[in-house]
Chain A
Amino acid sequence: MVQDRIASIQLTLLVAMTAIGTHYLAMPGFVARAAGRDGWLSLLAGAAVAGLGVWAVASISRRFPDKTVVQYNPALFGRIPGVFLNIWLLAHFTLAAAFGLRFFGDVLKLFLFDRTPLEVIMIAMLLTAAYAVRHGVNVLARLAEVFFPVVIPFWGITMFFLQMQVDYANLLPVMDQGLKPVARGIFPGYMVFQGYGLMLFITPLLQDSSQAMRAALGGIAITLFIYLVTFTGAVGIFGAQHLTLLIYPVVDLVRALTLPEMIIERQEILLLSVWILVSFLALAVAFYLVSFGASQVLGLKEFSPMVYLVLPLVYLAAILPPNAAQVIALSRMLGGSFVLLSAIYILRAGLLGLWPARRA
């Protein structure tokens, strides 16, 4: 059995769960603020852009079958821009991990543990993530396979029962203000698909790398489906106006669920407990990418020592923002960085014919 190779279904689930784990809870409000009730169109457009990004990464990876992004960057962009890009990528994923951690801590503190210090929640989570990351990407991929069937039934049942309360008329009229709001929504609509960035590092680890594109597109499709159902449900229940005011609309959505003869009250706690799994995975993946990428930049054979170097960095970056506004600023910055990086790689992939890459 080959170690540290992952199957394409695992890549699919990783892409989906990494995206959902970081952005799901805030996504509807985030998109609605930019695009209003037409946000679902923005999500579709965003997914299309993400598909383009997947194509870019997959076609670049095909030129460098056994190399990760930090290994082929110098060959692709030239030595100095390549090194610069590597540092940028590592910083980006460090901040992504930090944002995931902080966001998670904030949500948990807000809804579950108002008296537990944020630090305790974050450290417990981070140490658990370190334990997983040290085992390598195989374990993360298998965890995705374990968690997916745990999470999806919960989500499906919730959404199923919500349908009775959703008023889809709230989605109408479609595009009454023209294309402008939809276009404005593409930026947030694309950002929420960030998870597929892990392809940059993980494609060479696939059992069958020719499947990379299909697998990642599958992941984006799953994400898109979940987002669309959630967004339309949120608009249908709250209306676009109200939705823009909510920070964690998904939590409110679940809270709004009322069933006759409820067995449990405050079902959002249940949702959050299950969401811990997905969120954990997203954090662990970002954490892994940084450790793995850094070890490759430094030319180390083993990446596990890097885990302990990256851990305090992630923690510091996560604890640094003093308030929620700063955390949101961090998320915007990450989004901007992600869009820029995507643009660079999509352009570069498009120019592969004109400007062939040197052999690494």
Chain B
Amino acid sequence: MSSRRVPKKPLPLRPADPGGQTKKEEPPPVLTRDLARNLEILKQALAESSDVVFREFAVGSRYLPAAVVFVDGLVDKQMLDRDLLEALMLELALVERAGAGCLEPEAAMACLKQRAVTAGEVRESRDLEDLITFILSGDTAFLVQGAGYALVVNTRGWKMRGLEEPVNEPTIRGPKEGFSETVRVNTALVRRLVRDPRLKIEGMRLGRRSRTDCAVAFIEGVVNPDLVAEVRRRLATIDIDFIMETGDIEQMLEDSVLSPFPQMQHTERPDKAAAALMEGRVAILVDGTPFALLAPATFSQFFQSPEDYYQRWELASFLRLLRVFASYVATFTPAIYVALVSYHPGLLPTPLALSIAASREGMPLPIMLEALAMEFFFEVFREAGTRLPRAVGQTVGIVGGLIIGQAAVMARLVSPATVIVVALTAMASFVIPAYDMAIAFRLLRFPLLFAAGILGLFGVMLGFIIINIHMVALNTFGTVYLSTFVPYQPRAWKDLLIRGPARTLRHRPEMLHPQDEVRQASRKESGW
């Protein structure tokens, strides 16, 4: 990075103020009626960018000077040629021959817009800075001598990834389409699932320099308006140069910085996003990432998968219970193991206590350190496995898990019971469908292990209490994190730990204070 001071407004747009009278409120730099001057300003602003193309030409039988400006690679060349250049240079002549040309220079632009430009999405822009942003987003600017404004033609089209199955959220049954990196495609995917005219998709730009396109989606009449206002308010407070990913935004919008728990949910699945909108949540989509943010997120949500609703309810309920149970196993088992072995062996049945004690005889490390070391190395293997290319990653698993584990036990460095506990914990932690929640549990294991090593079961219970204090005190966008379990909202419990039969899920979750609470008519009302 150069040490040169960067001016806050990066683009040297402002023409010298002629009178110097308007010192306080300079009007935003606007286009003039002089084409040459406009092009000069644009060239100055976009200087040294080899990918920006300026194409000057003449329009109509009077040879009105005109130009298009676009960024090579961001525009659909075919569309540009067909809808703009061809239309202006070839077809206009035909129109004129029929006696209805756009000949008057003053009205030329309006007339061209009406009759010549065949592109679908066209808007006018007077503001230079806006215009440049449009150009850099892939639109084409069309300027004509004497107009005083430019026509922004949507010619966006670039190489993008096709719609693929979401890698991180696979389902056995359910749609296989995932979000991609283009925000417009993503909003379209949501729109295709929800054709309600009251599905609002508000656009905005975030990032002073990156000017990333973002969209805030919600369903009016369902969502609590206070929630939308709060999301807008928080988004408006983001003042940063570059938005990389929704992860960025998530961390800037969340209520508690210190919490290990994710306070918004991200998803690659349009069906999940649409379902969340239908519940009365707000979705934030950002250009450049296939992950949409859903706010607010509550604890229970991270144990649910869209598939829960596609499969039969008994199966779905079983899987949900399994996930919750597994997550507690993943978090507390190592700590309880350490507490039992080191402080309360009496709690174990005598044969088991004896066999553990026998297997621990001659071990170099105290049990807490042994468990900590195993957990630590397990995390190392896991991280190594994720970062390596997939083919090599498998080897890491085999070498790390099987060979080292086996050798460590045979060399009597660690006791087999510890290996079993750590391995069980690891497997249990993979059951949690949400990666960010799984990480939270992974992290919490370590302080709990410490607490167990120092204070035994009392330490584990204190840890449990502290985690719970934190969770009940945590609010996300005004919703209690542990909703709908706490505060008790029994009506919503049909869809919490268990997933009730489809016909019984008649209401949206109360915690979100939706405007329209009923989502399904009862069996009787629907005439079953």
Contact = CB atoms under 8 A, between A and B. Distances in A.
Interface string B473-485: 1000010101001
Given A113-B456, A143-B472, A265 B349 contact: yes
A266 interface: yes
A276 B458 CA distance: 8
A112 interface: yes
B343 A143 contact: no
B278 to A, nearest CB: 22
Contacts of A276: 458, 461-462, 465
Contact of B468 (A9, A116, A143, A267): A143
Interface stretch (A29-37, A123-131, A232-240): A123-131
Given A132-B469, A142-B486, A280-B465, A113 B458 contact: yes
A142 B480 contact: yes
A121 B459 CA distance: 9
Nearest to A3: B475
A270 B460 CA distance: 12
Q: Which of B343, B462, B472, B488 has the most CB of A within 10 A?
A: B472
A1 B485 CA distance: 17
Given A113-B343, A116-B455, A265-B346, A10 B465 contact: no
Which 3 A-B pairs rank lowest in CB-CB distance, beginning with the nearest? A142-B472, A266-B346, A276-B461
By DSSP majority rule, is chain A's interface helix, strand, loop, or mixed? helix
Interface in B440-457: 455-457
Given A128-B462, A146-B472, A277-B464, 6 more contacts: A121-B455, A128-B465, A128-B466, A142-B482, A143-B468, A266-B347
Given A7-B487, A135-B469, A121 B346 contact: no
17 contacts: A1-B513, A7-B487, A7-B488, A10-B487, A108-B458, A113-B458, A132-B469, A139-B473, A141-B487, A143-B468, A146-B472, A146-B485, A146-B486, A266-B346, A269-B344, A269-B457, A273-B458
Contacts of A325: none
A269 B346 contact: yes
A164 interface: no
Interface of B: 343-344, 346-350, 455-462, 464-466, 468-469, 472-473, 478, 480, 482, 485-488, 513
Contacts of A169: none
A264 interface: yes
Contacts, number: 91
Interface residues of A, number: 35
Given A143-B472, A262-B349, A265-B348, A273 B482 contact: no
A145 interface: yes
A135 B455 contact: no
A145 B493 CA distance: 14
B359 to A, nearest CB: 19
Interface in A126-181: 128, 131-132, 135, 139, 141-143, 145-147
A131 B469 contact: yes
Contacts of B465: 128, 132, 143, 276-277, 280
A116 B457 CA distance: 13
Contacts of A143: 465, 468-469, 472
B469 A124 contact: no
Interface of A: 1, 7, 9-10, 108, 112-113, 116, 120-121, 124-125, 128, 131-132, 135, 139, 141-143, 145-147, 262-267, 269-270, 273, 276-277, 280
B482 A146 contact: yes
Contacts of B478: 1
A4 B480 CA distance: 13
Given A142-B482, A146-B468, A264 B487 contact: no
Nearest to A275: B461
A119 to B, nearest CB: 13
A147 B467 CA distance: 12
Contacts of B469: 128, 131-132, 135, 139, 143
Contacts of B480: 142
Contacts of A128: 462, 465-466, 469
Contacts of A124: 455, 458-459, 462
A130 to B, nearest CB: 11
A264 B350 CA distance: 9
A153 to B, nearest CB: 14
A266 B487 contact: no
A263 B472 contact: no
Contacts of B487: 7, 10, 141-142, 145
Contacts of B457: 112, 269, 273
B456 A112 contact: yes
